[in-house]
Each structure stands twice: as structure tokens, then as C-alpha cells.
Amino acid sequence: MKALAGFLSLLLHLLLLSAAESRRLHLHLGSSAYLTTEEHWFNQTLDHFSPIDHRQFKQRFYEFLDYYQDGGPIFLKICGESACNGIVDDYISVLANKFGAALVSLEHRYYGKSSPFKYLTTENLRFLSSKQALFDLAVFRQYYQLSTILFVLQEYLNAKYNLSKVENSWFVFGVSYSGALSAWFRLKFPHLTCGSLASSAVVRAIYNFTEFDKQIGESAGAECKAALQEVTKLVDEQLQSNGSSVKKLFGAVLLKDDGDFLYLLADAAVIAFQYGNPDVLCSPLVDAKKNGKDLVETYASYVKDYYLGQFGASVLTYDQQHLKNTTPGVEESANRLWWFQVCTEVAYFQVAPQNDSIRSSKIDTRYHLDLCKNVFGEGIYPDVDMTNIYYGGTKIAGSRIIFTNGSQDPWRHASKQTSSPDLPSYLIKCHNCGHGTDLRGCPQSPLNIEGNAENCTSPEAVQKVRQQIIEHIDLWLSECQSTAGRMISSA
């Protein structure tokens, strides 16, 4: 027994050293945004709700064990609506280090390299849903717990100390849609995780999301808001008189549909506030308005230089003809995939409010419904009521879920912003606190290593919420371990 224990202990030590060496190699190669990019794979069930369909597909995941300490927890970082190319080095890595946790991350079905099908036809997308994704997480959690070196170590510790079988404690994390998945996972599978952090979690499906545009106006402030509204008015007019010319000015001539073009322009403004760079947008616009410069040209420069340039957005992703492509590349597929989820489950239709809108009034409910029909076919529309009935929306009835939001983030109006003892909710208030500030710092894009918050206009506000997060995780992990201890005693 002693020889086996010694062997297992040595094996774990060597594996952890290997993981650490792998990380150093990635950092040396310039991938410092990631803790690891080493891919792992396992066989996932295609349809969790069919008793007769037993097809499987390969699903990609990552693990990072540098911070893991004997008997420590496993932090499951949920990947959302894009390719998952590794475990990003954000504030979750700080938490993993603090709690001696292993970090694992699962790519969302269909996204990136985890697609069950070569062709993304509407028929083949029928297994793409949040419900299927939650079961993916549950199956992966069980697979990882029972088939990895951590399980071998736990078995060794159980044998060494004559314990009954004890699993590692799990805690789940996510931001935005994956933040909603984090909350919903705790709601639907409370026995599989000690708790969850739901950062900027969009748990409420919304048909006409007018609060989104209203928040942009509030975050912009009076002068910037007025400038943006004037840009919208002028662009609407120029589209009627010389549409090709104004589209050329913005580098978007390939967008034949005026609605697609106007959606691009609206999104470009949103990103500045959502990801903590409001001054990049507002300073030149306000200056142009005060000095009588051409506002449309000023905004076009921002769109081309920042949104399409530095931020890395693509005009192509707004083209409905592109969204209809059923054989896009690995990275490009995310746009069609996410629109399918929007058009079938959650909507989040960012429509223009009837009064005082920033975005064009042409971006209305009809635009969104027509897009869903045009891209995916007849009968495709979001059943928002059923989604909220299934999960509860902001009346979610779970426990041990932390909700966090940034004050300038328009998505916070789809999140849970009221606190209760089992479901604490925190709003981080500052000038550039946006989407996922608690985990990403400021600005939220580009990446701040370990979620550095020093560039937030109020780093103290971020640190205060982070301390609350630490206290909740510490308490809930302790309660999990205490429960496991009582189960052992009574066995």
C-alpha cells in the first residue's frame, strides 16, 4: 500500500510539473493570454433527451493544474458562443491560485472544433440549445471527475486516510451567455456543483430589448448621446439619397441590406460601453460636434479604426447572406450559430425604443424576425416565454449563485440585479465598468492579464466586489466539504 501511495504521489508531482512546464512554453511562445492551449477531447452525447439516439461527437476541453493542491476544488470555466481556444488568464486564474483549484474548460457544442456536423444546416442545428449544453456540462463534469489524475489522487487520499469515496468540490464560472449557463447549471444540477459565479449573466430572455439602447444613452451622457443620435439621423437621410456612398465611407459596401448596415453602426457604438472604452468613442464625437466637424465622417473613422480595426469586428458578420452559409470556417461559424440560438431561445432583440432612441428606428422587431426567417427558414422564431418558464428569468429559484454586473453594460438589464441571501447580486459602478468587469478588469477588451483592474476609474469598486466573491466561494466550498464529511460519518 505504501509503495502504491508513493508511486501515485510521484506520478501526480510529475504531471503537475509537466503542466507547469507546458504553461511556461506557451508563455515563451507568446500565448500569454492563455494559461494553456493544449487540447483534450472526450466523447459527448449528441441528444441528451432521446432514449434511442445514442450518437456521439468529439468535444474539446482544456485543463490547467499548476495551482492544484491535494484535495482542492475543481473550477469549471464555461465557454460560450465562440470558439474556445484555451483557458484565458483572467481573474479566475487568481481565484484558482488562491483556492488551490484545478481549472477546466469545456467548449460549447457546435462552436469552434466541437461541432457534431460538417454542414450547419437548420436541420443539423436542432441539437444546439442551452438545455443540451447544460447536460454537456453535467456529463463532462462526471467524466472528468472519474477519469483524470485528480480522481486517482483522491482515491489515493481516501485509501491513505481510510475515508469513504469523496469527490472534489466543484465551482462553475461564466460570463455573459456562459454566465447564464453557469447560473442555470447550478439551478438544474445543484448536486454537481457547490455554487456558481454568473458574471454579466443574461438569464432573462427578452423579446423586445429596448432597455439595451436606453442604457447606451445613459452610459454615453448627454453630449455623446446627442452626437450619436445626430449621426443616426444623418445616416438614415444619406441612405435614402446616396446609400452606396455612405456605406463606402464606413467600409461596408458589401452590406446590401440597409438594416444590416444600420445594425453594424449600432453595434459599433455599443461595444465602446459594453467593453469599457467609452472615451474612445465619445471624446472625438463630442469634440467634432463642438467644433462643427462632420459627425458622420468622425463616426466612420471610429468604426473603421477602432471597431473594425483594433477591436477586430468584421463587416461580413452583419451580412445575412454570409449568415446563411452552412459551411463557414471554425472561427466564422460562431455568428450563424449564435443567431440560431437568438432566433430559437433567447431573442435579446436590440430594437430601437419608440422615443429618444440612439439606434435607427429601422432596427425593429420586424428586422429581427425577418433575419431569423431569411437565414434559417420558415417557422424559426424565439419562444421567449418558454425559455423564461424553464429557467425562471430573473426570478431564478436557485441557490449559491453570485450575480455580478458592470454599471455601464447594457446587458445587465437581462441579468439578475436584485440580491437575496442565497443569490447575492453586485453592481460594480464606475465610468468604464462593463461586461464581465469582475473577471476581466478594465477595459474588458483587449484582455487584461489576471483581470487587472488598475485601469478601472474605480479599482476600489472592483476589488470590493471581488472580495465578496472570495468570501462566498470560501463559505460555499466549506459548506460542501462539511456536508461531504457528515455523509462520510453516517456511512
The CB-side HSE value for 7 (13 A sphere, CA atoms) comes to: 5
The three three-digit cell numbers of residue 145, written as one number:
471527475
Residue pair 404/200 in contact (Cβ under 8 Å)? The answer is: yes
Spatial neighbors of 285 by CB under 8 A, at least 6 apart, are 224, 227, 228, 231, 295, 298, 299, 302
Question: How would you classify the pairing of strands 206-208 and 170-175?
Answer: unpaired
The terminus-to-terminus CA distance of the chain in angstroms comes to 23
Q: Which residue is catalytic, options 333, 409, 425, 438? A: 409
Residue pair 101/160 in contact (Cβ under 8 Å)? The answer is: no
Angle at 442 between CA 182 and CA 415, to 5 degrees: 35
Question: How would you classify the pairing of strands 102-106 and 74-78?
Answer: parallel
Q: What secondary structure does DSSP assign to 56-83, as a single string?
A: EEEEEEEEE-TT--TT--EEEEE--SS-
Active site residue 409: yes
d(CA 400, CA 476): 7
Residue pair 255/315 in contact (Cβ under 8 Å)? The answer is: yes
**Alpha carbon 312 to chain centroid, angstroms:** 17
Active site residue 176: yes
Q: Of 104, 435, 153, nearest to 275 (Cα)?
A: 435
Q: State the sign of the Cα–Cα–Cα–Cα dihedral 354, 360, 362, 364.
A: negative
Active site residue 482: no
Backbone angles phi, psi at 85, to 5 degrees: -100, 10
Q: Of 355, 346, 310, nearest to 130 (Cα)?
A: 346
Backbone angles phi, psi at 140, to 5 degrees: -65, -40
CB atoms within 10 A of CB 458: 17
Q: Which residue is catalytic, options 176, 200, 333, 415? A: 176
Cis peptide before 73 (omega within 30 of 0): no
Burial class (CB in 10 A: 0-12, 13-18, 19+), 447: middle
User: Helix, strand or coil for residue 423?
Assistant: strand
Q: Which residue is catalytic, options 26, 413, 435, 472? A: 435
The three three-digit cell numbers of residue 223, written as one number:
453630449
Residue showing cell 473613422: 301
d(CA 140, CA 143): 5
Active-site annotation, residues: 176, 409, 435
